[in-house]
Amino acid sequence: MDKQHKASPVMQIKVGFDLELRCPQPTPVIVTLGVHASRASDLLEPDTLQVEPAVPLRSYVDSYGNQCQRLVAPAGVLRLQATGLVADPGQPDPVLPALEQVPVDALPEEALLFLLSSRYCESDLLTDLAWSLFEGAPMGWGRVQAICDFVHRHVRFDYGRSSPTKSALTTYESREGVCRDFAHLAIAFCRCMNIPARYCTGYLSDIGVPPPHSAMDFSAWFEAYLGDGWYVFDPRNNTPRIGRILIARGRDAADVALTTSFGVSTLESFRVWTA
């Protein structure tokens, strides 16, 4: 694919991953690594999970609509890999500043869960701060964008300054983190301001981004409920991007872990690509 041809009506984006887990003994694992069902019709080549050594897989859909698979990893190294081809319109994330905030009493019931505090988004601890920062921002799209602008300026991106247990509050206090930390802080602030927000993870290409490009990884962003539905915001990059391919959504990163091991496991290697 020629990344210069952004005007093409449809892009074909190759996506994939290759990771290895080491387990000292047989260990149950949940894997959430497939392209989300909302993009299923865009899959020109399915990203079927390949497992070495071969073990039985059981598929299910979790309570957030994410495609998951269960397996028992044998003792030793387990390799998980997949490659898929996705048709994408090649358009940047939409920017719709006229969208209004929906009053809480008019929100659909399925959005209410995403107003509540969660494991990594402690909106109950950040409410006073959020209102002091964003009460003057225009309601609706403008307020969510003001939150993204603040998080983008306030937090310094640093791969070495995050941890699996880092939360929105500690990200605000430390002022550094990775894309999931940016997303958690922005989600918590949105919820404080009565705007439903949910965490997203997936592939994010470097299409339309001038080099140099950083090493590819899975990315995190969020969706806010405004007007008639859910819309993408990305406080880490804070600019519309092309080729965003969703894997999973949830309240925060705890709901959409790429792998969840019920026992000791170590990530031996990890590689992600889009092309």
What DSSP string describes 206-241? -TTPPSPPPPP--EEEEEEEETTEEEEE-TTT-S--
Query: Which pTM value belongs to this model?
Result: 0.94
- Which segments of 143-196 are extended strands (E)? 156-157, 176-177
Give mean pLDDT, residues 43-54: 97
Q: What is the pLDDT of residue 106?
A: 98
Residues of the domain holding 268: 11-90+258-274
Give mean pLDDT, residues 78-92: 97
Is the residue at 266 inside a domain? yes
Is the residue at 3 inside a domain? no
Q: What is the pLDDT of residue 4?
A: 40
Is the pLDDT at 205 greater than 70, yes or no?
yes
Domain shared by 235 and 164, yes or no:
yes
Is the residue at 218 inside a domain? yes
Q: What is the pLDDT of residue 9?
A: 62
Q: What is the pLDDT of residue 93?
A: 97
Is the pLDDT at 7 greater than 50, yes or no?
no
Give mean pLDDT, residues 21-39: 97
Is the pLDDT at 139 greater than 80, yes or no?
yes
Is the pLDDT at 242 greater than 80, yes or no?
yes
Give the number of other CB atoms < 10 A from CB of residue 195: 25
Domain shared by 118 and 227, yes or no:
yes
Domain shared by 119 and 203, yes or no:
yes
Give the total number of structural domains in the chain.
2
**Mean pLDDT, all residues of the chain:** 94
Distance CA 49, CA 33 (A): 8
Please name which of 231, 237, 242 lies closest in space to residue 205, comparing C-alpha atoms.
242
Domain shared by 32 and 76, yes or no:
yes
Is the residue at 98 inside a domain? no
Domain shared by 136 and 223, yes or no:
yes
